[in-house]
């Protein structure tokens, strides 16, 4: 309960910080809607309609109550409820983030086991070199390279936009490649630490098959750092797919919040930021539960 209450406090704090930060942005939302040629009476009317004529603390309280009730406000830029825009963009970003983490985790575990099992062979060393290269290559460059090869040269996948699941293959691969390198590093480190443990030497001395020692004993016990890193990668993707969405022209949450910031669409930006914060604390809580299942000695502080 203490953990849940602390997460709720974090979400409220994020929403307050976001609301306060948006108040100091230059520009008047009423002028953005009506234009600079509008009359003072029309500007006053739209400010009253948006609640901009009320004290900031009152507006924040009203927004928070409405948000809890499921009302995310009205977008200034699009003149539609924010929840309609979020309902269109959120599935794209969630699909990108989840598939990128699942793909990178699967590949990282496979290559990490190969690297640990054949550490002295050339392919074991090659896996370690790949992990370093994957973390060094810029993500946007990977996306542009994939577009050039698979969309322009081979013409087997769409270059951008969203027209179905095929449109997400290249973005998912772009997001997964650097994260595979990060997770692979964690798998290698975890296995290296575990394989030097006394109980692993005992298992090998008892004559257990190497595959059983590697998968049943070493991999599971070395999974804590990997699970933590995978959760961190998912958290980063929930808030950080904006570059890939820009490269591939995907109408996800990153594009939505960027448009909101550029257009000073305060209700849209605030709702999206708080929703992302809720997603982050939910993932964090889930990772904590997963770590407790992997190691019962771990407890919440």
Q: Per-residue pLDDT for 122 more than 80?
A: no
Phi/psi for 81 (5° steps) reads -60, 140
Contact 135, 181 (CB under 8 A): yes
Using 50, 70 and 90 to split pLDDT, how confident is the model at 244? confident
| pTM higher than 0.85 | no
- What domains, with CATH codes, occur in the chain? 89-253 (1.10.3720.10)
Higher pLDDT, 49 or 179: 179
How far apart are the C-alpha atoms of 216 and 209, rounded to whole Å?
10
- pLDDT number for residue 29: 67
Q: Which two tokens stand for residue 152?
A: 């322009």
Q: Express each pLDDT in 95-104 by its tens digit.
A: 988 998 899 8
How far apart are the C-alpha atoms of 167 and 249, rounded to whole Å?
10
Q: Per-residue pLDDT for 113 more than 70?
A: yes
User: What percentage of residues in the chain have a pLDDT greater than 70?
Assistant: 82
How far apart are the C-alpha atoms of 105 and 28, rounded to whole Å?
45
Instruction: Classify burial at 72, counting beta carbons within 10 Å of its beta carbon; exposed 0-12, middle 13-18, buried 19 or more.
Output: buried
Q: Per-residue pLDDT for 94 more than 60?
A: yes
Alpha helix ranges (H) inside 118-217: 122-136, 139-146, 169-195, 198-205, 210-212
How far apart are the C-alpha atoms of 73 and 165, rounded to whole Å?
30
Cβ-Cβ contacts under 8 Å for 154 (sequence gap 6 or more): none
Using 50, 70 and 90 to split pLDDT, how confident is the model at 123? low
Cβ-Cβ contacts under 8 Å for 104 (sequence gap 6 or more): 175, 176, 177, 179, 180, 182, 183, 233
Q: Express each pLDDT in 227-240 by its tens digit.
A: 777 888 887 787 66
Q: Express each pLDDT in 167-219 by its tens digit.
A: 889 999 988 888 888 888 777 777 767 766 777 777 777 777 766 777 666 66
Q: What is the residue whose two structure tokens read 């942005």?
A: 25
Angle between helix 223-240 and 169-195 (nearest 10): 160
């Amino acid at each position: 309960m203490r953990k849940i209450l602390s997460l709720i406090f974090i979400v409220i704090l994020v929403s307050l910080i976001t609301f306060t930060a948006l108040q100091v942005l230059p520009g008047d939302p009423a002028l953005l809607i009506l234009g600079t040629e509008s009359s003072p009476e029309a500007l006053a009317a739209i400010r009253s309609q948006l609640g901009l004529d009320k004290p900031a603390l009152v507006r924040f309280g009203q927004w928070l109550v409405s948000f809890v009730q499921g009302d995310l406000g009205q977008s200034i830029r699009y003149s539609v409820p924010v929840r309609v825009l979020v309902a269109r963009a959120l599935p794209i970003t969630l699909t990108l983030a989840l598939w990128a983490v699942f793909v990178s985790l699967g590949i990282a575990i496979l290559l990490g086991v190969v690297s640990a099992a054949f550490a002295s062979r050339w392919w074991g060393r090659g896996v370690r070199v790949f992990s370093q290269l994957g973390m060094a290559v810029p993500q946007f460059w990977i996306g542009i390279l994939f577009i050039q090869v698979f969309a322009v040269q081979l013409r087997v996948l769409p270059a951008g936009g969203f027209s179905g699941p095929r449109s997400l293959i290249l973005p998912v691969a772009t997001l997964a490649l650097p994260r595979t390198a990060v997770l692979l590093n964690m798998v290698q480190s975890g296995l290296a630490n575990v394989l030097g443990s006394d109980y692993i030497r005992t298992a090998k001395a008892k004559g257990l098959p190497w595959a059983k020692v590697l998968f049943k004993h070493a991999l599971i016990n070395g999974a804590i750092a990997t699970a933590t890193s995978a959760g961190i990668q998912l958290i980063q993707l929930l808030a950080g797919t904006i570059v890939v969405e820009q490269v591939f022209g995907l109408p996800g949450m990153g594009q939505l919040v960027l448009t909101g910031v550029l257009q000073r669409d305060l209700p849209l930006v605030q709702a999206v930021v708080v929703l992302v914060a809720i997603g982050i604390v939910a993932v964090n809580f889930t990772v904590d539960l997963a770590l407790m299942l992997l190691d019962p000695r771990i407890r919440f502080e």
